[in-house]
Amino acid sequence: MKDTKRDTKPQLFSRDYLLAMAASLGTGFVTYFFFSTLSLFADTLTGSAAFAGYLSVAYSIAAMITRPVAGVLSDRRGRVVTLIIGSAICTASCMLYTFVTNIVLYSFATGMALLLIIRAVHGVGFSFNNTSSGAIVPDIVSRERLSEGVGYFGMTFTLAQAIGPTIALAIVKDGKLSSFNTLYYLSAAICAVSLISGCFIRYERIAKKERRVKPIDKPMDPSINEPIGEPVSQPDELPVELPVKLPSELPAQENAQGPGKPIGKTYFGVEAQAYGPAIMTALLFIGMCSVLFFLTLYGKTSGFQVGQLGGFFTISACGIAAARIFLGRVVDKRGPDIVMIPGLIAVILTLVVIPLAPSTPLLICLGLPYGLSTGAVLPPLNALMFNRCSPNKRGAVFAVFAISNDVGITFGSLALGLIVDNIGFNFMYWFSAALVGVAFLIYIFRVSEKSYERRMASNSVT
């Protein structure tokens, strides 16, 4: 019975999967360290929080521009190599922040310019690490459990979001440059752990060794002119846990629909089927910026108890974790529509209700539906992109997914800020809800299982 269960339910938490999660968790913690303290750091150095905006743009644009490079490098040279390069860049960047703080004391202009450069380099390192680690998951997780695997993997950033800001703010609460340097040393150490974890991921190395194994010639049986017994081989190492193909060895014509079927139109080297979910992801992240970047300011201007609003993010992180744990299995068994449609509706309603909350406790309680709904819709979108594109394009596909995140965050933080300054918070939240509504319509008419199957059926007829 045990063997039968193991055959019907492939392993998820393999050694390489856990190492990839560790590598992603490290950079996730560092990302939220910086998100939560960057404005304080900029204010300490320059006396103005506005410089934090420039640092964020430098980071986001650098990450966005280098995503395609990271995707191509991941597909051609290997996911693990790209992951290690990214982790090394992040480690070096975190160390360099500590030197810049000293340079600023002697040459302000030089220090600010170097800080922008280092922040951009840090964005490059993050894009390499994040793109390659995301592409590793579909390599080592079976198709039957892909949504579940993507959901669990995404919990690394959920955990970082829930704990990272608290740790960072506790370290730099006095606002001294020495405290920021302590935070950056800790960040460098955590990125170094990600680097070490990446070095121990071995599925690509094992796959290469297995393909170099040659059979040993057996003595011939003269009566039938065939070798006696089965050819044997001498593998250099134990077989890999899952049958993994290297990205460069996957046939271009083989996609999620099976070998021999056409992959369809491609744009910038990625199948057109990936861009519907990518556009939805960008719209969702623009809407989510209204919470990530502006909820605290909204609470302050509305007279709420700002010190308690951290509870919103804690509760939302719990909701995200619960959605990723339980709903990933539902998607794998019953398809994405059953989760995506109610999840998108819940995101829209939550954004509409946030500016109508009359008190701090009620606003905090909205963190639960916000976390549950956003945690429910993002992993299936990522899995849809992988399932509907060629396996040998997974690095590039995840780069498109990550670029959509970057576009949403960059555009959302700038555009929604302008709306707040010129119109107000209520319109900003309702505008965000309207953008998620556009994503809902795209899903219904373009991305959902029913619409996708109709297009595939019409293409097969033509």
Amino acid identity for residue 56 in this structure = S
Asked if 153 and 285 sit in the same domain, the reply is: no
CATH code, 189: 1.20.1250.20
Q: Are strands 226-227 and 220-221 parallel, antiparallel or unpaired?
A: antiparallel
Which of 117-126, 249-258, 425-434 is least confident?
249-258
Is residue 216 assigned to a domain? no
For residues 132 and 281, what is the distance between their CA atoms, to the nearest angstrom? Answer: 19
Q: Is the pLDDT of residue 195 over 70?
A: yes
* Residue 47 banded pLDDT, cuts 50, 70, 90: low
In this prediction, residue 106 carries a pLDDT of 76
Q: Is the pLDDT of residue 156 over 50?
A: yes
In this prediction, residue 33 carries a pLDDT of 83
Contact 79, 141 (CB under 8 A): no
In this prediction, residue 368 carries a pLDDT of 92
Asked if 309 and 341 sit in the same domain, the reply is: yes
In this prediction, residue 200 carries a pLDDT of 92
Q: Is the pLDDT of residue 346 over 80?
A: yes
Asked if 440 and 398 sit in the same domain, the reply is: yes
Q: Show the tokens assigned to 100.
A: 């810049």
Strand partners, 270: 267
Q: Which residue in 398, 415, 298 sits closest to 57, CA to CA?
A: 415
In this prediction, residue 283 carries a pLDDT of 93
The residue from 188, 221, 251 where one domain ends is 251
- Compute φ and ψ for 271, nearest 5 degrees: -60, 150
Q: Is the pLDDT of residue 225 over 70?
A: no
Is residue 226 assigned to a domain? no
Asked if 303 and 395 sit in the same domain, the reply is: yes
- What are the tens digits of pLDDT across the range 358-379? 888 898 899 899 999 998 898 8
Asked if 34 and 171 sit in the same domain, the reply is: yes
Is residue 356 assigned to a domain? yes
Between the CA of residue 454 and those of 255, 308, 432, 447, what are the distances in Å? Answer: 18, 49, 30, 11
The residue from 191, 226, 251 where one domain ends is 251
- What are the tens digits of pLDDT across the range 377-399? 988 887 787 777 777 666 677 77
Is residue 222 assigned to a domain? no
Which of 16-20, 121-125, 297-301 is least confident?
297-301
Contact 223, 52 (CB under 8 A): no
Q: Is the pLDDT of residue 210 over 80?
A: no
In this prediction, residue 416 carries a pLDDT of 81
Averaged pLDDT of the chain: 78
* Residue 255 banded pLDDT, cuts 50, 70, 90: very low
Is 144 buried (19+), middle (13-18) or exposed (0-12) by CB count in 10 A?
middle
Q: Show the tokens assigned to 286.
A: 């623009």
In this prediction, residue 240 carries a pLDDT of 41
Q: Which residue in 431, 415, 429, 440 sits closest to 351, CA to CA?
A: 429
Asked if 440 and 375 sit in the same domain, the reply is: yes
Asked if 26 and 110 sit in the same domain, the reply is: yes
Contact 93, 126 (CB under 8 A): no
For residues 108 and 114, what is the distance between their CA atoms, to the nearest angstrom? Answer: 10
Q: Which residue has the higher pLDDT, 307 or 171?
A: 171
Amino acid identity for residue 349 in this structure = L
What percent of the chain lies above the pLDDT cut of 90?
21
| SS3 (DSSP) at 270 | strand
User: What domain range includes position 98?
Assistant: 11-210+242-251
For residues 335 and 343, what is the distance between their CA atoms, to the nearest angstrom? Answer: 14
Q: Is the pLDDT of residue 193 over 90?
A: yes
The residue from 223, 251, 279 where one domain ends is 251
Strand partners, 266: 271
Q: Which element (helix H / strand E) includes 291?
A: helix 275-292
* Residue 211 banded pLDDT, cuts 50, 70, 90: low
Which of 103-107, 171-175, 218-222 is least confident?
218-222
In this prediction, residue 96 carries a pLDDT of 92
Asked if 204 and 288 sit in the same domain, the reply is: no
Is 367 buried (19+), middle (13-18) or exposed (0-12) by CB count in 10 A?
buried
- 396-408 mean pLDDT: 79
Between the CA of residue 443 and those of 384, 398, 436, 450, what are the distances in Å? Answer: 11, 19, 10, 10
Q: Which element (helix H / strand E) includes 328?
A: helix 310-334
Alpha helices (H) in 107-176, listed in sequence order:
108-140, 146-171
Is residue 418 assigned to a domain? yes
Q: Which residue in 319, 346, 343 sits closest to 330, CA to CA?
A: 343
Q: Show the tokens assigned to 162.
A: 């829930």
Asked if 96 and 165 sit in the same domain, the reply is: yes
What angle is formed at CA 191 by the lines to CA 182 and CA 281, rounded to 5 degrees? 115
Asked if 280 and 247 sit in the same domain, the reply is: no
Asked if 296 and 247 sit in the same domain, the reply is: no
Asked if 412 and 272 sit in the same domain, the reply is: yes
Is residue 434 assigned to a domain? yes
Is residue 229 assigned to a domain? no
Q: Is the pLDDT of residue 442 over 70?
A: yes
In the block, residue with structure tokens 């856990």: 18
In this prediction, residue 414 carries a pLDDT of 75
Number of domains in the chain: 2
Q: Is the pLDDT of residue 236 over 50?
A: no
In this prediction, residue 303 carries a pLDDT of 78
Is residue 114 assigned to a domain? yes
Amino acid identity for residue 107 in this structure = S
* Residue 118 banded pLDDT, cuts 50, 70, 90: very high
Q: Show the tokens assigned to 430.
A: 């309702």
